[in-house]
Structure 1
Protein backbone atom coordinates (compact mmCIF):
# COMPACT_ATOMS: atom_id res chain seq x y z
CA UNK A 1 0.00 0.00 0.00
CA UNK A 2 1.57 3.24 -1.06
CA UNK A 3 0.04 6.62 -0.22
CA UNK A 4 1.69 10.04 -0.32
CA UNK A 5 1.57 12.33 2.72
CA UNK A 6 -0.13 15.64 2.11
CA UNK A 7 0.74 19.27 2.52
CA UNK A 8 0.16 20.27 6.11
CA UNK A 9 -3.44 21.32 6.71
CA UNK A 10 -4.84 19.95 3.46
CA UNK A 11 -5.58 16.50 4.87
CA UNK A 12 -4.54 14.44 1.84
CA UNK A 13 -2.89 11.03 1.93
CA UNK A 14 0.31 10.06 3.68
CA UNK A 15 3.47 8.38 2.43
CA UNK A 16 3.50 4.66 3.16
CA UNK A 17 5.94 1.96 3.95
CA UNK A 18 8.56 1.12 1.34
CA UNK A 19 11.03 -1.74 1.11
CA UNK A 20 14.42 -0.61 2.43
CA UNK A 21 16.67 -3.61 2.92
CA UNK A 22 19.50 -1.18 3.57
CA UNK A 23 19.75 2.56 4.01
CA UNK A 24 21.87 4.27 1.37
CA UNK A 25 23.25 7.78 1.51
CA UNK A 26 21.36 10.28 -0.62
CA UNK A 27 23.11 12.41 -3.23
CA UNK A 28 22.91 16.16 -3.59
CA UNK A 29 24.20 19.13 -1.67
CA UNK A 30 22.41 21.16 0.94
CA UNK A 31 22.91 24.68 2.22
CA UNK A 32 21.72 23.33 5.57
CA UNK A 33 25.00 21.43 5.80
CA UNK A 34 27.91 23.12 4.12
CA UNK A 35 30.38 20.25 3.99
CA UNK A 36 28.27 17.07 3.90
CA UNK A 37 24.83 15.80 3.07
CA UNK A 38 24.74 13.15 5.78
CA UNK A 39 25.47 13.09 9.48
CA UNK A 40 27.15 10.38 11.47
CA UNK A 41 24.77 8.29 13.61
CA UNK A 42 24.17 8.98 17.27
CA UNK A 43 22.61 6.57 19.75
CA UNK A 44 20.25 6.79 22.68
CA UNK A 45 17.93 4.64 24.72
CA UNK A 46 18.19 1.34 26.60
CA UNK A 47 19.24 -1.95 25.02
CA UNK A 48 16.36 -3.71 26.74
CA UNK A 49 12.85 -2.47 27.39
CA UNK A 50 9.37 -3.83 27.95
CA UNK A 51 6.67 -2.99 25.42
CA UNK A 52 3.09 -4.14 25.96
CA UNK A 53 1.69 -6.26 23.12
CA UNK A 54 -1.74 -5.15 21.90
CA UNK A 55 -4.56 -7.63 21.40
CA UNK A 56 -7.04 -7.60 18.54
CA UNK A 57 -7.12 -8.01 14.79
CA UNK A 58 -6.59 -5.56 11.91
CA UNK A 59 -9.66 -3.40 11.26
CA UNK A 60 -11.10 -4.34 14.67
CA UNK A 61 -11.14 -0.69 15.64
CA UNK A 62 -12.26 -1.14 19.24
CA UNK A 63 -9.25 -3.38 19.95
CA UNK A 64 -5.91 -2.14 21.35
CA UNK A 65 -4.13 -3.10 18.11
CA UNK A 66 -6.05 -0.34 16.32
CA UNK A 67 -5.76 2.21 19.14
CA UNK A 68 -4.21 4.79 16.78
CA UNK A 69 -6.28 3.96 13.71
CA UNK A 70 -8.61 6.89 14.19
CA UNK A 71 -7.94 10.35 15.51
CA UNK A 72 -9.17 13.91 15.72
CA UNK A 73 -7.65 17.38 15.84
CA UNK A 74 -6.71 18.81 19.23
CA UNK A 75 -6.71 22.61 18.74
CA UNK A 76 -5.06 24.72 21.44
CA UNK A 77 -6.47 28.00 22.70
CA UNK A 78 -3.10 29.67 23.28
CA UNK A 79 0.56 29.43 22.35
CA UNK A 80 1.87 25.96 21.77
CA UNK A 81 3.70 24.74 24.90
CA UNK A 82 6.62 23.43 22.84
CA UNK A 83 7.71 27.04 22.31
CA UNK A 84 8.41 27.51 26.02
CA UNK A 85 10.08 24.15 26.61
CA UNK A 86 13.89 23.66 26.58
CA UNK A 87 15.24 22.97 23.10
CA UNK A 88 16.51 19.41 22.72
CA UNK A 89 20.20 19.46 21.78
CA UNK A 90 20.99 15.75 22.13
CA UNK A 91 19.05 12.90 20.50
CA UNK A 92 16.94 11.11 23.08
CA UNK A 93 14.79 7.99 22.98
CA UNK A 94 13.02 5.70 25.43
CA UNK A 95 14.11 2.65 23.38
CA UNK A 96 17.49 1.70 21.96
CA UNK A 97 17.95 3.49 18.63
CA UNK A 98 20.63 5.04 16.49
CA UNK A 99 19.73 8.06 14.37
CA UNK A 100 21.35 9.83 11.45
CA UNK A 101 20.02 12.48 9.07
CA UNK A 102 20.72 12.87 5.38
CA UNK A 103 19.54 15.44 2.86
CA UNK A 104 18.62 14.81 -0.77
CA UNK A 105 17.97 17.83 -2.97
CA UNK A 106 19.33 21.28 -3.73
CA UNK A 107 19.05 24.84 -2.44
CA UNK A 108 15.45 25.11 -3.67
CA UNK A 109 13.91 21.92 -2.32
CA UNK A 110 14.82 18.59 -0.79
CA UNK A 111 14.11 15.91 1.76
CA UNK A 112 15.58 15.40 5.21
CA UNK A 113 15.63 11.70 5.99
CA UNK A 114 15.78 10.66 9.63
CA UNK A 115 17.20 7.13 9.57
CA UNK A 116 16.68 5.07 12.72
CA UNK A 117 18.11 1.63 13.45
CA UNK A 118 16.87 -0.59 16.24
CA UNK A 119 20.01 -1.08 18.35
CA UNK A 120 18.18 -2.81 21.18
CA UNK A 121 17.74 -6.52 21.83
CA UNK A 122 13.97 -6.21 21.49
CA UNK A 123 11.49 -6.13 18.62
CA UNK A 124 10.16 -2.58 18.50
CA UNK A 125 6.65 -1.60 17.49
CA UNK A 126 6.68 1.90 16.03
CA UNK A 127 2.90 2.15 16.15
CA UNK A 128 1.83 5.31 17.99
CA UNK A 129 5.43 6.49 18.43
CA UNK A 130 5.91 10.27 18.69
CA UNK A 131 8.75 12.22 17.08
CA UNK A 132 9.50 15.81 18.09
CA UNK A 133 12.30 17.67 16.31
CA UNK A 134 13.37 21.02 14.84
CA UNK A 135 13.98 21.65 11.13
CA UNK A 136 13.54 24.41 8.52
CA UNK A 137 10.04 25.87 8.48
CA UNK A 138 7.44 25.23 5.83
CA UNK A 139 7.53 21.49 5.22
CA UNK A 140 4.98 20.37 2.64
CA UNK A 141 5.62 16.60 2.63
CA UNK A 142 6.32 14.05 5.34
CA UNK A 143 6.08 10.30 5.68
CA UNK A 144 7.33 7.07 7.20
CA UNK A 145 9.22 4.17 5.61
CA UNK A 146 10.51 0.90 7.04
CA UNK A 147 12.26 -2.34 6.20
CA UNK A 148 8.92 -4.00 5.43
CA UNK A 149 7.11 -3.37 2.14
CA UNK A 150 3.76 -3.07 3.80
CA UNK A 151 1.97 -1.32 6.56
CA UNK A 152 -0.68 1.36 6.45
CA UNK A 153 0.47 4.39 8.44
CA UNK A 154 -1.02 7.81 8.81
CA UNK A 155 -0.12 10.58 11.23
CA UNK A 156 -1.10 13.03 13.90
CA UNK A 157 1.05 15.98 12.88
CA UNK A 158 1.80 19.59 13.67
CA UNK A 159 4.34 22.24 12.64
CA UNK A 160 5.00 24.99 15.17
CA UNK A 161 7.07 27.88 13.68
CA UNK A 162 9.65 29.45 15.98
CA UNK A 163 9.96 32.66 13.97
CA UNK A 164 13.66 32.15 13.22
CA UNK A 165 13.33 30.13 10.02
CA UNK A 166 12.92 26.86 11.90
CA UNK A 167 9.92 25.04 13.28
CA UNK A 168 9.20 22.32 15.78
CA UNK A 169 7.61 19.29 14.15
CA UNK A 170 5.50 16.87 16.14
CA UNK A 171 4.33 13.63 14.54
CA UNK A 172 2.71 10.46 15.83
CA UNK A 173 2.97 7.44 13.50
CA UNK A 174 -0.39 5.68 13.43
CA UNK A 175 -0.99 2.30 11.80
CA UNK A 176 -4.23 0.60 10.88
CA UNK A 177 -5.62 -2.40 8.98
CA UNK A 178 -2.39 -4.46 9.12
CA UNK A 179 -1.14 -7.19 11.51
CA UNK A 180 1.16 -6.38 14.42
CA UNK A 181 4.20 -7.82 12.62
CA UNK A 182 3.85 -5.21 9.89
CA UNK A 183 4.18 -2.45 12.49
CA UNK A 184 7.37 -3.82 14.03
CA UNK A 185 11.11 -3.31 13.54
CA UNK A 186 13.40 -6.15 14.60
CA UNK A 187 16.87 -5.64 16.15
CA UNK A 188 19.22 -4.32 13.48
CA UNK A 189 16.44 -3.23 11.14
CA UNK A 190 15.91 0.39 10.12
CA UNK A 191 13.06 2.78 9.54
CA UNK A 192 12.97 6.32 8.18
CA UNK A 193 10.92 9.45 8.69
CA UNK A 194 11.22 11.98 5.86
CA UNK A 195 10.47 15.69 5.78
CA UNK A 196 10.32 17.68 2.55
CA UNK A 197 10.82 21.40 2.21
CA UNK A 198 13.11 24.33 1.42
CA UNK A 199 16.56 24.26 3.07
CA UNK A 200 17.65 27.02 5.40
CA UNK A 201 21.24 27.49 6.54
CA UNK A 202 20.05 28.72 9.94
CA UNK A 203 20.10 25.08 11.14
CA UNK A 204 22.63 22.36 10.29
CA UNK A 205 22.03 18.67 9.69
CA UNK A 206 23.72 17.89 12.98
CA UNK A 207 21.46 20.30 14.83
CA UNK A 208 18.42 18.76 13.18
CA UNK A 209 19.63 15.28 14.16
CA UNK A 210 20.35 16.27 17.75
CA UNK A 211 17.00 18.03 18.19
CA UNK A 212 14.99 14.83 17.89
CA UNK A 213 13.17 13.16 20.74
CA UNK A 214 11.65 9.73 20.04
CA UNK A 215 8.97 8.32 22.33
CA UNK A 216 7.79 4.79 21.63
CA UNK A 217 4.41 3.72 22.97
CA UNK A 218 5.41 1.15 25.59
CA UNK A 219 2.18 0.85 27.59
CA UNK A 220 -0.59 1.00 24.96
CA UNK A 221 -1.49 4.53 26.04
CA UNK A 222 -0.86 5.58 22.40
CA UNK A 223 1.16 8.56 23.65
CA UNK A 224 -2.22 10.24 23.75
CA UNK A 225 -1.21 12.75 26.42
CA UNK A 226 1.63 14.01 24.22
CA UNK A 227 -0.42 14.66 21.10
CA UNK A 228 -3.17 16.38 23.08
CA UNK A 229 -0.60 18.46 24.96
CA UNK A 230 0.87 19.75 21.69
CA UNK A 231 -2.44 20.13 19.82
CA UNK A 232 -1.76 17.92 16.82
CA UNK A 233 -3.98 17.51 13.77
CA UNK A 234 -5.04 14.15 12.33
CA UNK A 235 -4.08 13.80 8.68
CA UNK A 236 -6.50 11.68 6.66
CA UNK A 237 -5.59 8.98 4.18
Structure 2
Protein backbone atom coordinates (compact mmCIF):
# COMPACT_ATOMS: atom_id res chain seq x y z
CA UNK A 1 0.00 0.00 0.00
CA UNK A 2 0.94 3.62 -0.45
CA UNK A 3 -1.06 6.35 1.12
CA UNK A 4 -1.25 10.00 0.24
CA UNK A 5 -1.81 13.28 1.96
CA UNK A 6 -3.86 16.12 0.60
CA UNK A 7 -3.92 19.75 1.54
CA UNK A 8 -7.32 19.10 3.02
CA UNK A 9 -5.81 16.16 4.86
CA UNK A 10 -3.11 18.36 6.34
CA UNK A 11 -5.81 20.21 8.17
CA UNK A 12 -7.88 17.20 9.15
CA UNK A 13 -5.03 14.71 9.54
CA UNK A 14 -2.70 12.92 7.17
CA UNK A 15 -3.27 9.37 6.01
CA UNK A 16 -0.40 7.02 6.77
CA UNK A 17 2.63 6.90 4.52
CA UNK A 18 3.68 3.28 4.02
CA UNK A 19 6.84 1.61 2.78
CA UNK A 20 7.03 0.11 -0.70
CA UNK A 21 9.54 -2.09 -2.48
CA UNK A 22 11.28 -1.34 -5.74
CA UNK A 23 12.72 2.12 -5.19
CA UNK A 24 16.28 0.94 -5.71
CA UNK A 25 15.81 1.19 -9.46
CA UNK A 26 15.59 4.95 -9.18
CA UNK A 27 18.98 5.19 -7.53
CA UNK A 28 20.83 4.17 -10.70
CA UNK A 29 23.92 3.03 -8.84
CA UNK A 30 26.26 5.89 -7.98
CA UNK A 31 24.56 8.44 -10.22
CA UNK A 32 21.22 9.04 -11.83
CA UNK A 33 20.71 9.15 -15.57
CA UNK A 34 20.86 12.78 -16.60
CA UNK A 35 17.84 13.95 -18.60
CA UNK A 36 15.30 16.75 -18.44
CA UNK A 37 13.38 15.05 -15.66
CA UNK A 38 16.22 13.61 -13.58
CA UNK A 39 19.19 15.28 -11.94
CA UNK A 40 22.59 13.76 -11.53
CA UNK A 41 23.36 12.45 -8.05
CA UNK A 42 25.29 14.40 -5.45
CA UNK A 43 26.81 13.04 -2.26
CA UNK A 44 27.37 14.28 1.27
CA UNK A 45 28.16 12.99 4.72
CA UNK A 46 30.77 10.69 6.26
CA UNK A 47 31.43 7.14 5.07
CA UNK A 48 31.27 5.91 8.66
CA UNK A 49 29.23 7.11 11.60
CA UNK A 50 27.99 5.87 14.96
CA UNK A 51 24.26 5.63 15.52
CA UNK A 52 22.87 4.65 18.90
CA UNK A 53 20.69 1.53 18.88
CA UNK A 54 17.36 2.01 20.68
CA UNK A 55 16.15 -0.47 23.26
CA UNK A 56 12.65 -1.84 23.19
CA UNK A 57 10.21 -3.78 21.06
CA UNK A 58 7.41 -2.62 18.75
CA UNK A 59 4.50 -0.99 20.58
CA UNK A 60 6.48 -0.54 23.81
CA UNK A 61 5.84 3.18 23.70
CA UNK A 62 7.76 4.05 26.84
CA UNK A 63 11.03 2.70 25.40
CA UNK A 64 13.43 4.36 22.92
CA UNK A 65 12.51 2.25 19.88
CA UNK A 66 9.12 3.98 19.85
CA UNK A 67 10.47 7.43 20.76
CA UNK A 68 8.89 9.06 17.69
CA UNK A 69 5.71 6.97 17.61
CA UNK A 70 3.62 9.69 19.20
CA UNK A 71 3.85 13.38 18.70
CA UNK A 72 2.09 16.69 19.11
CA UNK A 73 1.97 19.99 17.27
CA UNK A 74 4.50 22.64 18.22
CA UNK A 75 3.00 25.93 17.03
CA UNK A 76 5.28 28.95 17.04
CA UNK A 77 4.38 32.62 17.01
CA UNK A 78 5.60 35.00 14.37
CA UNK A 79 7.59 34.19 11.25
CA UNK A 80 9.03 30.71 11.00
CA UNK A 81 12.78 30.79 11.78
CA UNK A 82 13.60 28.86 8.61
CA UNK A 83 12.81 32.04 6.65
CA UNK A 84 15.71 33.89 8.24
CA UNK A 85 18.23 31.04 8.06
CA UNK A 86 20.79 30.75 5.24
CA UNK A 87 19.35 28.91 2.25
CA UNK A 88 21.05 25.57 1.70
CA UNK A 89 22.60 25.49 -1.79
CA UNK A 90 24.59 22.27 -1.48
CA UNK A 91 23.19 18.93 -0.29
CA UNK A 92 24.17 18.38 3.34
CA UNK A 93 23.90 15.29 5.52
CA UNK A 94 25.33 14.01 8.78
CA UNK A 95 25.51 10.46 7.33
CA UNK A 96 26.86 9.18 4.03
CA UNK A 97 24.17 9.56 1.36
CA UNK A 98 23.82 10.26 -2.32
CA UNK A 99 20.74 12.06 -3.53
CA UNK A 100 19.03 12.86 -6.80
CA UNK A 101 15.63 14.21 -7.81
CA UNK A 102 13.26 12.96 -10.50
CA UNK A 103 10.04 14.49 -11.80
CA UNK A 104 7.16 12.83 -13.61
CA UNK A 105 4.10 14.69 -14.81
CA UNK A 106 3.38 17.75 -16.89
CA UNK A 107 3.33 21.53 -16.60
CA UNK A 108 0.15 21.37 -14.52
CA UNK A 109 0.84 18.62 -12.01
CA UNK A 110 3.46 16.02 -11.22
CA UNK A 111 5.47 14.16 -8.61
CA UNK A 112 8.99 14.87 -7.41
CA UNK A 113 10.94 11.95 -5.97
CA UNK A 114 13.96 12.73 -3.80
CA UNK A 115 15.91 9.48 -3.97
CA UNK A 116 18.60 8.73 -1.39
CA UNK A 117 21.12 5.90 -1.40
CA UNK A 118 23.09 4.89 1.67
CA UNK A 119 26.68 5.34 0.51
CA UNK A 120 28.18 4.70 3.92
CA UNK A 121 29.50 1.39 5.21
CA UNK A 122 26.93 1.45 8.03
CA UNK A 123 23.30 0.40 8.33
CA UNK A 124 21.26 3.58 8.65
CA UNK A 125 18.08 3.95 10.67
CA UNK A 126 15.88 6.62 9.12
CA UNK A 127 13.61 6.72 12.17
CA UNK A 128 13.26 10.30 13.46
CA UNK A 129 15.39 11.67 10.61
CA UNK A 130 14.69 15.29 9.68
CA UNK A 131 14.58 16.63 6.11
CA UNK A 132 14.53 20.32 5.22
CA UNK A 133 14.33 21.30 1.56
CA UNK A 134 12.83 23.80 -0.87
CA UNK A 135 10.33 22.94 -3.63
CA UNK A 136 7.31 24.48 -5.39
CA UNK A 137 4.64 25.70 -3.00
CA UNK A 138 1.34 23.92 -2.47
CA UNK A 139 2.32 20.26 -2.40
CA UNK A 140 -0.82 18.21 -1.82
CA UNK A 141 0.62 14.70 -1.73
CA UNK A 142 3.76 13.51 0.01
CA UNK A 143 5.19 10.40 1.61
CA UNK A 144 8.04 7.95 2.03
CA UNK A 145 9.05 4.71 0.34
CA UNK A 146 11.98 2.35 0.78
CA UNK A 147 13.57 -0.84 -0.48
CA UNK A 148 12.55 -2.22 2.90
CA UNK A 149 9.10 -3.64 2.17
CA UNK A 150 7.59 -3.15 5.58
CA UNK A 151 7.26 -0.45 8.15
CA UNK A 152 4.77 1.98 9.57
CA UNK A 153 6.03 5.56 9.21
CA UNK A 154 4.20 8.80 9.68
CA UNK A 155 5.42 12.36 9.76
CA UNK A 156 5.92 15.59 11.61
CA UNK A 157 5.47 18.01 8.74
CA UNK A 158 5.37 21.69 7.89
CA UNK A 159 5.26 23.76 4.70
CA UNK A 160 6.60 27.30 5.04
CA UNK A 161 5.88 29.43 1.94
CA UNK A 162 8.61 31.88 0.92
CA UNK A 163 6.30 34.08 -1.14
CA UNK A 164 8.20 33.46 -4.38
CA UNK A 165 6.34 30.36 -5.55
CA UNK A 166 8.52 28.06 -3.47
CA UNK A 167 8.26 26.76 0.07
CA UNK A 168 10.45 25.17 2.66
CA UNK A 169 9.29 21.68 3.57
CA UNK A 170 10.29 20.38 7.00
CA UNK A 171 9.68 16.69 7.67
CA UNK A 172 10.55 14.27 10.46
CA UNK A 173 10.07 10.58 9.56
CA UNK A 174 8.48 8.75 12.49
CA UNK A 175 8.07 4.98 12.67
CA UNK A 176 6.02 2.86 15.05
CA UNK A 177 4.83 -0.68 15.72
CA UNK A 178 7.56 -2.38 13.64
CA UNK A 179 10.95 -3.87 14.61
CA UNK A 180 14.20 -1.99 14.20
CA UNK A 181 15.23 -3.68 10.95
CA UNK A 182 12.10 -2.36 9.25
CA UNK A 183 13.25 1.18 10.02
CA UNK A 184 16.72 0.65 8.54
CA UNK A 185 18.41 1.10 5.17
CA UNK A 186 21.46 -1.08 4.50
CA UNK A 187 24.60 0.13 2.78
CA UNK A 188 23.86 0.53 -0.93
CA UNK A 189 20.09 0.50 -0.46
CA UNK A 190 17.70 3.35 -1.21
CA UNK A 191 14.81 5.28 0.22
CA UNK A 192 12.68 8.04 -1.27
CA UNK A 193 10.73 11.05 -0.10
CA UNK A 194 8.15 12.18 -2.62
CA UNK A 195 5.82 15.12 -2.99
CA UNK A 196 3.40 16.17 -5.68
CA UNK A 197 1.85 19.39 -6.90
CA UNK A 198 2.07 22.00 -9.61
CA UNK A 199 5.55 22.74 -11.01
CA UNK A 200 6.90 26.26 -10.78
CA UNK A 201 9.68 27.78 -12.85
CA UNK A 202 10.91 29.56 -9.72
CA UNK A 203 12.94 26.45 -8.83
CA UNK A 204 14.69 23.77 -10.87
CA UNK A 205 15.16 20.09 -10.08
CA UNK A 206 18.84 20.73 -9.38
CA UNK A 207 17.95 23.51 -6.95
CA UNK A 208 15.51 21.22 -5.13
CA UNK A 209 18.28 18.61 -4.91
CA UNK A 210 20.85 21.08 -3.64
CA UNK A 211 18.50 22.68 -1.12
CA UNK A 212 18.17 19.55 0.98
CA UNK A 213 19.61 19.05 4.44
CA UNK A 214 19.25 15.57 5.96
CA UNK A 215 19.78 15.04 9.67
CA UNK A 216 19.73 11.44 10.90
CA UNK A 217 18.92 10.82 14.56
CA UNK A 218 22.25 9.50 15.81
CA UNK A 219 21.84 9.99 19.57
CA UNK A 220 18.21 8.91 20.23
CA UNK A 221 17.22 12.52 20.90
CA UNK A 222 14.77 12.29 17.99
CA UNK A 223 15.82 15.61 16.41
CA UNK A 224 13.31 16.97 18.89
CA UNK A 225 14.99 20.36 19.23
CA UNK A 226 14.67 20.92 15.47
CA UNK A 227 11.04 19.78 15.39
CA UNK A 228 10.20 22.29 18.11
CA UNK A 229 12.39 25.00 16.57
CA UNK A 230 10.48 24.86 13.28
CA UNK A 231 7.04 24.31 14.82
CA UNK A 232 6.06 21.17 12.92
CA UNK A 233 2.64 19.51 13.01
CA UNK A 234 2.10 15.84 13.75
CA UNK A 235 0.18 14.34 10.88
CA UNK A 236 -2.28 11.69 11.98
CA UNK A 237 -1.79 8.05 11.20
| Equivalenced residues, count | 228
Give the TM-score of the pair, scaled to structure 2: 0.94
Change (3 A) 1:112 1:54: same
Q: Which structure 2 segments of 5+ residues have no match? A: 28-34
- Give the structure 2 partner of residue 11 of structure 1: 13
SS in 1 for 2:11: coil
Tell me the CA shift for residue 48 of structure 1: 0.2
Residue 164 in structure 1 maps to residue 158 in structure 2: no
Q: What SS class does the counterpart of residue 83 from structure 2 fall into?
A: helix
Q: Which residue of 2 aligns with 1:57?
A: 57
CA contact (8 A) 1:4 1:16 kept: no
CA shift at 1:3, angstroms? 3.4
- Mapping for residues 102-181 of structure 1, pairs under 5 Å: 102-181=102-181
Which stretches in structure 1 are left out of the alignment for 5+ residues?
Answer: 26-34
Question: Over residues 186-205 of structure 1, what are the superposed CA-to-partner deviations in whole Å (9 max), with x where a residue is unaligned?
Answer: 00000000011100011000
Q: Give the TM-score of the pair, scaled to structure 1.
A: 0.94
Alpha-carbon distance between aligned partners in 2 of 1:6 and 1:57, rounded to the nearest angstrom: 32
Q: Please, what is the CA RMSD of the aligned residues?
A: 1.2
C-alpha distance in structure 1 between counterparts of 2:17 and 2:6, whole Å: 8
| Cα distance between partner residues in 2 of 1:11 and 1:107 | 28
Q: Do the aligned residues in 2 keep the contact of 1:98 with 1:118 (CA within 8 Å)?
A: yes
8 Å Cα contact 1:6/1:14 also seen in 2: no
C-alpha contact (below 8 Å) 2:23/2:191 kept by paired residues: no
User: In the alignment, which residue of structure 1 is the partner of 2:72?
Assistant: 72
